[in-house]
Amino acid sequence: MSKDTIKTLPAHHESSLSPQNVIDLFKVTFDQELYRDDRQTLSDAIQSVKTELYNRNYAAAFDSTEKRTAYCCRWSPSRAIAYTSLFCHLDAVRDIVQSNTNSEILCIGGGAGGELVSIASIFAPSIDFNAKYSTNKTELQNKTLRVKLVDIADWTTEVQRLTEKLQETWLFDHAADLDIQSINKDVLKMAPEDLNLPSLNLITLLFTTNELFMAEKASSIRFFQRLNKDCASGCHLLIVESAGSYSHITVGTKKFPIQYLIDTLLLGKRGQESTGAWDLVQEHDSLWYRSKDEIDYPLKVENMRFFYRLYRKK
């Protein structure tokens, strides 16, 4: 296991498109909302989402198209550039996204587009745009990256808008190489055949784990036990949550950092880690991503402080 010692992620990693490219994708996707003459409608929706998120009313925060679009405009760009830097920083994650073989990623709670755009911004630079014109048949065998975005809120429209723009501006005639599927379901209630866990190379739970346990503790524990049972050897699991007390969970009468509970479920009880189904590959308890001041975007681009755990199935 590697204990990450850096304090701040680089603003940009050479394996990905630039943060401004990532931000620009949101600008062109949601230009009607961001650049309309009267932005009061967007401002009102942003304030409404902010209030619901503060009160942890997650269902209410995303119960309308206006609120979901507002979140994509206000918070998803910040998430996307931070995720891009983190994914590139984690060698195993970057290699899965840029692999020359077919790979499959499941993003749980990934409907708002942050994960999708970050993955695409790392995938696009790895494409050989000359391969389709080569006379060497072995070079014509295109890789395919399959990304499933599962979310209890219906982000279908927002994902479709982002997908169309990233295909037009980043992928061009390789649009089919990135297979994106948006699934509007509760992951805790999905059938095993729908999740298809044995086929996955990477599962991400980014700012979602705490929400799952707050909603249904018992079902969340059973879900992680299913990951232990059904994920194939070599599959990676990346968990990211806010650093600090916001990510504590109450069990009985005591509060625990959520990562302690997840470590116990995946690795085994303390002192008995060898009994768990997963290995802890890399971790950090308090990592910053800070965007550069010169980023051009009409709304505020947030800095992020979070912890992460990267596991690998034995």
Show the domains of the chain with their CATH numbers.
2-31+75-313 (3.40.50.150)
User: Residue 56 has what pLDDT?
Assistant: 84
pLDDT band for position 33 (cuts 50, 70, 90)? very high
Phi then psi for 210, rounded to 5 degrees? -60, -40
Strands 254-257 and 248-251: antiparallel
User: Residue 134 has what pLDDT?
Assistant: 52
73-110 pLDDT, tens per residue? 999 999 999 999 999 999 999 999 999 889 999 999 99
User: Residue 102 has what pLDDT?
Assistant: 92
Average pLDDT over residues 291-298: 92
Closest C-alpha among 310, 314, 313, 262 to residue 86: 310
What whole-number percentage of the chain has pLDDT above 70? Answer: 94
Q: Which long-range contacts (C-beta less than 8 Å, at least 24 apart) are formed by 30-35?
A: 30/69, 30/72, 30/73, 30/161, 33/69, 33/70, 33/73, 34/73, 34/298, 34/299, 35/298
| pLDDT for 135 beyond 60 | no
Predicted TM-score of the model (pTM): 0.94
